[in-house]
Structure 1
Amino acid sequence: MSALANTRLPGHGRPLLSLWLGVCLTLAGTTPRLSQAADPGCPSADLFSGKLMTDICWACLFPVRIAGLPIGGGQVPAGAATSAFCGCATGAGFTIGMWEPARIIELTHAPGCSAALGGSRLPMGSRRLIGTEGKSAYDSTDIAFWHYHWYSFPLLILLDLFWDRKCNADGLTDFDILYLSELDPTWNNGELAFFTNPEAAWLANPVAQAACLADATAATAGSPIDSLFWCAGTWGNLYPFTGVQPNLGSDPRETSLAAVRSLAALHRRGMARRTMGNDAVCKAPIDFFVKKSAYKLTMFYPLPETQKAHVIGQSTFTWGESRTIPGPGEHQLYLLWRWSDCCAIYE
């Protein structure tokens, strides 16, 4: 694991050079990969290539809000910081808010396969805690199962783009592995997962489930309902925090539900922080319940979303059904965008 954990882009001061080299090699037909795929069942997403320019929804950065004034089109979440000026322990300044590309979430049926790392098989050693390989272990008409891998991906910092490095809620500055579900026994065991999300017991009733219809409608319109925290819109129920789910739709719907469940699970464990709101401009607080309106996603692989992002729970008929393809579609990468409010301190 240590070799892969140290595989990262160059640090601050050189990323634009690395990106330019990647573009040149791509145009020359020699796109670099972190390692050659060991088998056809683990393809490469070519993450570190010219795709960093062509397959990112750059318009999804907007609006950028400076001192309360939005610049550019797009939607500011309802829970974003409302004050124009701010004061922190380190000084006073004005607020900045924008959509920040922060994480890569990778979903796969094959344990250990990482398309984000060039089609590599992660060296996990003992397979005691690796669980199932996916649908093949179940009746394929009833159950789906996806593993997830979380990677830090602070793209604006990596490319030295307009983002104050002091406005870095978690201090991550490089591409790196953060979490692997294969090593998490709760991800493929609902009984163990229950101890991390016991509220699932009182949410498993017809009234709570019927309320998710409202969230599905609101999410498809672009505004998920944060108070219905147990719902994932048209994707299904956010609980339990496991990779097992009914096989009721397309791969984009299933992987999207697995991705947001992983987000909720990491929030519950304090490994994902809330970066939106008046109380988050100085330091991102721990929030044990995911605030859905603070996030949006774009598919990066196999078929990228480059024009607009989709919110949590938004119907895949508006963005994803055309991205259901055999083979590479068994491995999907999403770029997670989060709304970040920050206090730009006067110097």
Structure 2
Amino acid sequence: MKQVIFPWIFGSLLTLATPLHAKTSTNSVDPLCSDAELWSGKLITDICWSCLFPIRAAGASLGGGNVPSIATDEKFCLCTDPMGIPELGMTMGLWNPARLIEIVRNPWCSPALGGHKFSASNVRLIATTGKADFDASEMSFFNYHYFAFPLTILLDLFWDGRCNSDGYRDFDLLYVSELDPTWNNDLLAFFTSPETAFFANPVAISACVADAAAAATGNPLDALFWCAGAWGHMYPLSGISPTSYGTDPRITSLLATRATASLHRRGLAWKTSGNDALCGGYIYPFIPKSQYRLSMFYPVAETESNHAIGETTFKWGAGRTYPGPGEDHLYILWRFQDCCVGL
């Protein structure tokens, strides 16, 4: 009798538990938080795979595309193995999708995680696209979340493990702006990057015209690290920026770049290109703009190309946003990686 009753009780409990679990999962999705459907077929169809090129091996390039001006021009290299023994190798370099940056209106909202929210919203952190008034409302504000996104490693594509300079092998949440008091306060941002005072003058700002022209050709000027080309000024390193009446790819691209620059400034981002990075990336305090490129993943993906930091949106931004769900933007941050592959 017991052999009949216990399986029946277990089956009944399992049947009752299933709808309760489904209800809990549904309630965790906020209807105001859009879903980018990152973990779907879009992970293959909405990625610019041609942006991996050119692939450079021993100084020879395979495929077309831009190579950073700071990339190595060496053919062979010498690095030490984990035992400290010198090892001869050849240089290798390519564009690698390394980070995912989401720029969102609602605090803690994560389109990359299926439209789920990390925590309860704080009204003080709700974003705004601003208004056309001559007061504080002409400023826009967005939050950001910064993820490790080593896509070539996740998909087990052609990538040597020795070329993984920062060690990330999985999709990981690295930084959230909601916990950073400097992101929604320009004054606090000034104290973490006091060099802002040197670039808040007409001479420094006028120099950004040259950077905008260079970025239009796909080659931003690393020496002008306080400029973000046609997108605006890099400083202050906060999420507040003059509005352009609605969610504009120019604004969200600028904020994604500021987020990366602020992490460099705090010693949380790496330089991975150039002769000095062949044996491993290293902390670099100012953003090397030519090392990075961006491609929009959501709401309207760039599947044919990516764009340089500061490159005018007239070339790539048309039709990339729409009201409602399309006002949260996801960008893939492409990073050029130079490394030494053992022979």
TM class, shorter-length: 0.7 to 0.9
Residue 140 to residue 329, structure 1, CA distance change in 2 (3 Å) = farther
- Are 1:251 and 1:329, in contact at CA under 8 Å, matched by a contact in 2? no
Distance 2:287 2:120 in 1: 29
Q: Distance in 1 between matches of 2:100 and 2:280?
A: 23
Paired position in structure 2 for 1:132: 125
Letter in 2 for 1:258: L
Q: TM-score, normalised by structure 1?
A: 0.86
Which residue is equivalent to 1:189? 185
User: Which aligned runs of 4 or more in structure 1 are off by greater than 3 angstroms?
Assistant: 138-141
Partner in structure 1 of residue 113 of structure 2: 117
1:86 corresponding residue in structure 2:
77
CA contact (8 A) 1:187 1:243 kept: yes
Counterpart of 1:72 in structure 2 is: 63
SS at match of 1:323: coil
What residue number does 1:151 align with?
Answer: 147
Would the aligned equivalents of 1:215 and 1:231 in 2 still touch at CA under 8 Å?
yes
Instruction: Select between 109-118 and 249-258 the one with higher mean Cα deviation.
Output: 249-258
Distance in structure 1 (CA, Å) of the matches to 2:318 and 2:231: 13
Q: Deviations over 1:217-261 (max 9, x none)?
A: 111121111111100001000000000000036520110000000
Q: 1:255 aligns with which of 252, 256, 276?
A: 252
Gaps of 5+ in 1: 1-34
Aligned residues: 308
CA distance in 2, matches of 1:80, 1:344: 16
Q: Which has the higher helix share?
A: 2
Q: Structure 2 length normalisation: TM-score?
A: 0.87
Give me the whole-angstrom Cα distance separating, in 2, the residues matched to 1:197 and 1:54: 39
Counterparts of residues 233-312 of structure 1 (less than 5 Å)? 233-248=229-244, 251-312=248-309
Contact 1:67 1:84 in 2 (8 A): yes
Gaps in structure 2 of 5+ consecutive residues:
1-24, 82-86
Shift of residue 134, structure 1, vs aligned partner: 1.4
**Equivalent in the alignment of 2:7:** none
- Partner of 1:177, secondary structure, is strand
- Describe the SS at the equivalent of 1:254: helix
Check 1:144–1:92 CA distance in 2 against 1; reply closer, same or farther (3 A cut).
Answer: same
Instruction: Tell me how far apart the structure 2 counterparts of residues 321 and 302 of structure 1 sit (CA, whole Å).
Output: 12
Greater Rg, structure 1 or structure 2? 2
1:39 is matched by which residue type in structure 2? D
How far has the Cα of 1:132 moved from its partner? 2.5
Q: Distance in 1 between matches of 2:51 and 2:283?
A: 25
Q: What is the aligned-residue identity percentage?
A: 55
CA contact (8 A) 1:131 1:182 kept: no
- State the alpha-carbon separation in 2 of the partners of residues 309 and 342 from structure 1: 22
